[in-house]
Copies of this chain bind each other. A is one copy, B any other.
Amino acid sequence: MVSPNWIAVDWGTTRLRVWAMNDSEVLENRSSDKGMGSLDRDGFEPALLELVEDWLGDRPVPVIACGMVGARTGWVEAEYRPTPCTPLDPLRATRPVVRDPRLDVHILPGLSQIDPPDVLRGEETQIAGFIAQNPDFQGTLCLPGTHCKWVIISNGQVEGFHTFMTGEVYALLSRQSVLRLTIGDAKPDLPGFLEASAQAATNADMAAAGLFPLRAAALLNGMTPEQGAGRLSGLLIGSELAAAHPLWHGRRVIIIGAPELSALYAQALTQAGADAHQMDGGELVLAGLTAAASALTRTP
């Protein structure tokens, strides 16, 4: 019989993950595919109850949630806190109206930036988890994925950040453009990746000029899908590194994300002269949610 004193929730576009917590101890965890993208406004409370109902007792339990659940098209829109600021302020969480009185839901705010305009939602909790574990860190976090977030951390604050759509652009070009005939789902070949990322990191024109030649090289020179995947990934990540240069140059960089993609970023960054290190960020979200819960219970 699990009886948490709070519940941690990571609610993204495609997944819902929940943890039954006793302070910082995990009692149990569950997940479902009821991500924000598949739910309308009335679907959030039932989707949550489906996973947590047998953890609830007589009294309201704090539920601390982060991610796209707080987007404009989510359960209820949570605010964006303007940077520079600490990554989390749980007192500014948004509290959706719920029917079940045993749920006391707090949706954590995201972060925004005025110039250049940028937003993030969900990553602020990973960042808070990282800072909770590494309170003295000064440098840049690189969080690759569908969208890659570069986040400058200084004295426990997020000084600024920049989002690149590289992962999404790669997926669209490799699977839906004319390059699908050349690349598709092939895994990137490392030598081709490193060569192309070096070219694009020093010549930003390559990202535009180098795309169609991948199709032509397959037709004329028998370039393999793996070589094409490596070169496409290298062109896109290399041009991201060129554009993100002020965010990593002269700073310590920690890369946190899916292992294979993070390894590509680590190798391209190292080749470009950066001080870059890969880190397993598996449970940073939970660490951030725990920090938020702890801050909430400390308040009167």
Q: Which residues of A are interface residues toward B (Cβ below 8 A)?
A: 72, 80, 112-114, 116-119, 147, 162-166, 168-169, 172-173, 176-179, 204-213, 215-217, 219-221, 236, 239-240, 242-244
Residues of B within 8 A of A166 (CB): 208
Q: Give the distance in Å from the alpha carbon of A244 to the alpha carbon of B211 in the complex.
A: 13
Q: Are A112 and B207 in contact (CB under 8 A)?
A: no
How many copies of this kind of chain does the complex include?
Answer: 2
Residues of B within 8 A of A165 (CB): 173, 177-179, 211-212
Residues of B within 8 A of A178 (CB): 147, 165, 168
Q: Are A242 and B205 in contact (CB under 8 A)?
A: yes
Residues of B within 8 A of A114 (CB): 220
> Known pairs A119-B215, A169-B173. 19 more at Cβ < 8 A?
A114-B220, A116-B209, A116-B216, A117-B220, A119-B220, A162-B209, A163-B216, A164-B209, A164-B212, A165-B178, A166-B208, A168-B178, A169-B177, A204-B204, A205-B239, A205-B242, A205-B243, A208-B239, A209-B243
Given known A-B contacts A119-B220, A212-B118, A172 and B164 have beta carbons under 8 A apart: no
Q: Are A216 and B118 in contact (CB under 8 A)?
A: yes
Q: Give the distance in Å from the alpha carbon of A72 to the alpha carbon of B215 in the complex.
A: 13
Q: Are A208 and B209 in contact (CB under 8 A)?
A: no
Contact of A213 among B116, B177, B242 (CB under 8 A): B116
Q: Give the distance in Å from the alpha carbon of A217 to the alpha carbon of B114 in the complex.
A: 9
Q: Within the complex, what minimum Cβ distance (angstroms) separates A182 from chain B? A: 11
Q: Within the complex, what minimum Cβ distance (angstroms) separates A173 from chain B? A: 7
Residues of B within 8 A of A163 (CB): 212-213, 216
Residue of B with least CB distance to A238: B208
Q: Within the complex, what minimum Cβ distance (angstroms) separates A291 from chain B? A: 26
Given known A-B contacts A173-B172, A178-B147, A117 and B221 have beta carbons under 8 A apart: yes
Residues of B within 8 A of A211 (CB): 164-165, 169
Q: Give the distance in Å from the alpha carbon of A147 to the alpha carbon of B118 in the complex.
A: 30
Q: Give the distance in Å from the alpha carbon of A211 to the alpha carbon of B113 in the complex.
A: 15
Q: Are A177 and B168 in contact (CB under 8 A)?
A: yes
Residues of B within 8 A of A240 (CB): 208
Q: Are B173 and A117 in contact (CB under 8 A)?
A: no
Q: Within the complex, what minimum Cβ distance (angstroms) separates A30 from chain B? A: 28
Q: Give the distance in Å from the alpha carbon of A179 to the alpha carbon of B169 in the complex.
A: 11
* A/B interface sample: 15 pairs, CB < 8 A: A80-B220, A117-B217, A118-B212, A118-B213, A119-B215, A119-B220, A165-B178, A165-B211, A168-B177, A169-B177, A172-B173, A205-B239, A207-B207, A208-B240, A208-B242
Residues of B within 8 A of A208 (CB): 164, 166, 204, 207, 236, 239-240, 242-243
